[in-house]
């Protein structure tokens, strides 16, 4: 495998600029996994532990993979992989082979899956989840802008970052 584990303080990573090139959220095992493109992620510390927060709508095929598995990865790419990530974002894994369609190369890694083309991968263990609740929005303008008439809302997963991997 062409990845090396790095310490959090040993690399320059700005999630505000990296997520502009999109990222890939993956959950499952080498036998059965799914990935989806994400354009929103939060990084920081909670209880002094490094964490990553991701959001998955219940309409997404990946929703059940995150619910059923203890680990997930968030992969960032050095060169924008927009064509491949568009496929992973628009197609549902229950009715197509996203791996074949996207041309990305999955690699099993410990309890989850990552991709050979990734530049930086965060391996996260789920520690908490909650669902977005309409009544909890302090900004109804923001709610109306993104959810409009929707009756289903994203699930928020908080994952403790256990490893950061960098492509060699």
CA 111 to CA 126: how far, in whole Å?
A: 12
Number of domains in the chain: 1
pLDDT for 19 equals 74
Q: Residues 72-80: what's their mean pLDDT?
A: 87
- With a cut of 90, say whether residue 35 has pLDDT above it: yes
- pLDDT band at residue 49, thresholds of 50, 70 and 90? very high
Q: Residues 12-18: what's their mean pLDDT?
A: 76
CATH number of residue 17's parent domain: 2.30.110.10
- With a cut of 80, say whether residue 105 has pLDDT above it: yes
pLDDT for 56 equals 96
Measured distance between the N- and C-terminal CA atoms of the chain, rounded to whole angstroms: 9
CA distances (Å), origin 134, targets 34, 107, 128: 28, 38, 19
pLDDT for 62 equals 94
pLDDT for 1 equals 76
**What residue has token string 């303008």?**
141
pLDDT for 39 equals 86
CA distances (Å), origin 90, targets 14, 19, 21, 37, 97: 26, 17, 16, 8, 12
Which residue range(s) make up the domain with 139? 3-167
> How much of the chain exceeds pLDDT 90, in percent?
67
């Amino acid at each position: 495998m062409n990845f090396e584990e790095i310490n959090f303080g040993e690399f320059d990573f700005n999630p505000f600029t990296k997520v502009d090139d999109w990222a890939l959220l993956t959950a499952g095992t080498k036998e059965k996994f799914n990935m989806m493109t994400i354009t929103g992620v939060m990084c920081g510390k909670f209880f002094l532990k490094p964490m990553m927060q991701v959001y998955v709508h219940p309409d997404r095929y990946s929703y059940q993979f995150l619910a059923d598995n203890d680990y997930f990865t968030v992969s960032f790419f050095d060169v924008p992989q927009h064509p491949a990530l568009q496929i992973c974002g628009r197609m549902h894994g229950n009715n197509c082979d996203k791996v074949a369609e996207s041309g990305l190369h999955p690699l099993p890694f410990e309890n989850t899956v990552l991709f050979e083309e990734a530049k930086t991968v965060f391996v996260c263990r789920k520690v908490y989840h909650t669902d977005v609740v309409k009544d909890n929005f302090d900004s109804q303008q923001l709610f109306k802008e993104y959810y409009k008439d929707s009756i289903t809302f994203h699930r928020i997963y908080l994952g403790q970052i256990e490893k950061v991997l960098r492509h060699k």
